[in-house]
Structures are given as C-alpha cells and as structure tokens.
A and B are shown apart, each in its own frame.
Chain A
Amino acid sequence: MLIRIELPFHLRTLAKTGSEVQVEVAGPATLAAALDALEARYPVLRGAIRDAITQKRRAFVRFYACEQDLSNDPQDTPLPAAIAEGREALLIIGAIAGGLKW
C-alpha cells in the first residue's frame, strides 16, 4: 500500500524532495513500517527522525495522523485506516521547542 507522509521543511531540504512523499509499505501499516520505508527511500533521513542506533523518536520530532498525536505510541501500533488507505497523510513535525533566542 502507498502511505503518504508530509515532511517538515528541514527534512524536505535534506531529502531534496517536496513536502509530501509517498512510500510503499508491504505488510501491516504501522508507524515503524512507514518510517522504515521512508528511510529506505531517503537514506539521508536515517537518524534525523529516529535515533540511528536506538530507533527511538528524536525528542523534538512528533508524529500526527488524523488529528491524533501518535508520538508516544509504540511504533508497531497500526496506523489509522485513513493513513493506511492513503486518504490522509502521516505528518512528521518538528516540535515548537527551544530555549535560545537566536
């Protein structure tokens, strides 16, 4: 199935792609499967969304889908049907966070 994923600005420039990408997921449509497919297609994103070694979500990256915050769900949780069926996009968002006033 094709999963639509919307990327934040800095990951678009890193991957040299547009704001939305589509990746093919074989098997159950989970967050982990979508991220695995994304990283396989754009290897430069390995380590930018999840830690390259632990595979944990980076602290200031969040996952949203169908108005739900999936950020703290286990990565093997099935994605909502609208995401699995390609009707809506999985959103990867850089959290509004930081302390420096640069």
Chain B
Amino acid sequence: MSGVRLLVGTHKGAFILTSDGKRKSWDISGPFFAGWELYHLKGSRLNPNRIYASQTSGWFGQQLQRSDDGGKTWEPVGNVFAYEGKPGPHKWYDNTPHPWEFKRVWHLEPSLTEPETVYAGVEDAGLFRSTDGGKSWQELPGLRNHASAPEWHPGAGGLCLHTILQDPSNPKRLYVAISAAGAFRSSDGGESWEPINRGLKSQYIPDPDAETGHCVHRIALHPGRPQTLYMQKHWDVMRSDDAGSNWREVSGNLPTDFGFALAVHSHQPETVYVVPIKSDSEHFPLEGRLQVFRSRTGGNEWEPLTQGLPRDCYVNVLRGAMSVDKLEPCGIYFGTTGGQVYASADEGESWQAAARDLPAVFSVEAQTL
C-alpha cells in the first residue's frame, strides 16, 4: 500500500485528494461536476478504481456517475430510482400524511463481495440495488414496506437513508440508518428488515420503548468485529455488541454528545472517533474549538484531540464527512462545512489541513491504495 485517495463530496462539486503513504502533502484534483451537489462518492473495495458518485441538483435532479480509472474520467450511469409499486405516505413534519417521493441519493455502498453490485440509500427513505455497475436500479422494497414506515418522519434534512453497512463476515447482513426513523437490519440481503433501536432514548419521543422515530445520524462497525456497532445519534453516542439488537449509551465524559460524524480505527475495534457539536440548535463546535474526541475503550472514556485544529471555528462536520485509511499508523480524515479537509497520519494525535478552501464538505471517503 503506497498512498491514500480521499473522495470529497461538496456543495459545489467533487474533489479528489491524493497523497503518498506519509500523508503530509496532498494534491487536489477537481472540481468534478462543478456547481452540482455531490452528496457521496465511494470506491469499491474489490476494485478501488471503480468509484460511484451521487450528483444531484434541486433544478436538474439526480445523476449517478461512475469512474473506472480512479476518478480521472467519469461516465453517467443509471439515474432512474423508481419505488416498487405505488408507495404509500409517510408522516410529514406536522404529522400529516405525505407522499413518498424520490429526491436524491445520499449514500452509495459498493458490495464487498459482488464487483458489479452497489447499494444506494435515497431520500425519501428507500434502499436500491444495482447489479450491473449502476446502469439500472431496483428497489429492495421490504424496507419501505415495513409496518412502521407509514409513521416515519423526516429529520431536518429530509427522510433520508444516509448510511449503509454490509457485514464483511456475512454479506447477507445489511444495516441502514434513516433520519428520523432509526436503524434497521436485514439478514437476507435486504429482502426483509427489522428495526434495531432497543435502548435508544430520544427526549422528543414520549414512548421510552419506541421501536422507530429515532434520529440516528451515523452507524459504523469494524470489519474485524462486525457484531459491535457504534452510533452517533442526534444526541448520545451508543454502542451495541449484539449486531444492533440492544444498545447502550457510551457518551461518558464527552463535553456534548450531539454530533453527526463517527468512525472506527481501522486496526483497533475499540478505538472510536467522534466530533462533538454544541447542540441541535447550534451546529458548531463547543466554545468554537474544533476537536475530535477519541475513545480507546470502545466509548465512555474520551480524550480531546486538538493539535493542529483551529479555535474560533464555527463550522459543522456532517455525518458522511469522516473516514479512516488502512495504513499504519491509521489515518483519520474529516471535512467541514467551512470547506476544510483535515488529515491526521498518526491516529488523531495531530492534524493538518489537506484542503482549506473547498465548498462545504458533505462527505469524505478514504481509499488506501
């Protein structure tokens, strides 16, 4: 392994940052698809030069782009996301029924085992799969047809399916997270689904045992210990050791446990990173000091990582904007709504800006080359 490629989706295009294994000096290429919103780009583990990108616009809709040469050139692939059957309504912000409508692709997850298969998480919440490299898309309707779906409400960003995980030890096991419905698990490749939100407490939900309705911001797992899941909920950092069946809070000594981004160290399943944000009303770091917090104990005990990160900083770090590489020591990366991409080549001990003046960053995905 000789270097790292960062796939950065922003409010006004995509950028690709590359570095050698030292991860000190970064070349920036782009913008690709300038002027469009790039919600997510992700490369295939099976073929890192195969990269998918979600290109979207409030004016001109959804495009799906694919590169087979590591992001040098791109070709549009299929952009029709048709829900199976006649979709019923979900709940709107005012609790009235609202028609289920496709708006955009939030997350792309290439299969860990099938080179031409890729999953797409969309708004309004649904899961789609392509088995021909993105040329055509079919919904996996079992999720949207779950009995709880008519009660799902959108979060502030819409009713979005924003996170997809595939269990590397059991590729039929999939996890998704939906704001603000919660986390769901499938054991049959996405045909059927069950909510996995036991143990989540959300103050805006009167029922303490509510099966759905939780605003899950991110879930992540370590490939070597896939039974353990970590979650950044709206408020609260959570952990499950039984594949999501039961959750417990591990916010511990975090100064605030609101946030969006979360990542797991690539070599240490008990080492987790979050970026605490002041509150759901003030989406910037506590006291204007950008800090990553790391736990080496799987949660509860957290330490601030500040070297190289700014003060007087009032940016946000969005849910898809944190990633890790597989080098030794593990590299950690995150992007901000202020257009910075920060990189650490030493497990978070110190940080430098790999890019400083991009448009607002929506997503960061690290590829180890």
Chain A positions within 8 Å of B, measured between CB atoms, are 9-11, 13-14, 44, 46-49, 51-53, 58, 60-61, 94-95, 97-98, 102
Do A11 and B79 touch (CB < 8 A)?
A: no
25 chain-A/chain-B pairs, Cβ below 8 angstroms: A9-B35, A10-B60, A11-B60, A13-B33, A13-B34, A14-B63, A14-B76, A44-B76, A47-B63, A48-B60, A51-B61, A52-B61, A52-B79, A52-B80, A53-B82, A58-B59, A58-B61, A60-B58, A60-B59, A61-B59, A61-B60, A94-B59, A95-B59, A97-B58, A102-B359
Do A48 and B61 touch (CB < 8 A)?
A: yes
Interface of A is mostly: loop
Do B63 and A44 touch (CB < 8 A)?
A: yes
Interface of B is mostly: loop
Tell me if B36 is interfacial: C-beta within 8 Å of chain A. yes
Chain B residues with CB below 8 A from A95, complex form: 59
Identify the closest chain A residue to B80 (Cβ): A52
Tell me if B11 is interfacial: C-beta within 8 Å of chain A. yes
Chain A residues with CB below 8 A from B80, complex form: 46-47, 52-53
Identify the closest chain B residue to A44 (Cβ): B76
Do B35 and A47 touch (CB < 8 A)?
A: no
Tell me if B62 is interfacial: C-beta within 8 Å of chain A. yes
Q: CA of A47 to CA of B137 in the docked complex: distance in angstroms?
A: 14
Tell me if B192 is interfacial: C-beta within 8 Å of chain A. no
Q: Mark B252-296, 1 if CB is under 8 A from A, else 0.
A: 000000000000000000000000000000000000000000000
Chain A residues with CB below 8 A from B36, complex form: 10
Tell me if B161 is interfacial: C-beta within 8 Å of chain A. no
Q: How large is the interface on B (under 10, 10 to 19, 20 to 34, 35 or more residues)?
A: 10 to 19
**Known contacts being A44-B76, A53-B80, A102-B360, is A10 close to B61, with CB within 8 Å?**
no
Chain B residues with CB below 8 A from A46, complex form: 79-80
Interface residues in B329-369 (C-beta closer than 8 Å to A): 359-360
A43 → chain B, closest Cβ, in Å? 8
Do A10 and B59 touch (CB < 8 A)?
A: yes
Chain A residues with CB below 8 A from B61, complex form: 47-48, 51-52, 58
B138 → chain A, closest Cβ, in Å? 14
Chain B residues with CB below 8 A from A58, complex form: 59-61
Chain B residues with CB below 8 A from A48, complex form: 60-61, 63
Tell me if B67 is interfacial: C-beta within 8 Å of chain A. no
Do B58 and A98 touch (CB < 8 A)?
A: yes
Interface residues in B35-94 (C-beta closer than 8 Å to A): 35-36, 57-63, 76, 79-80, 82
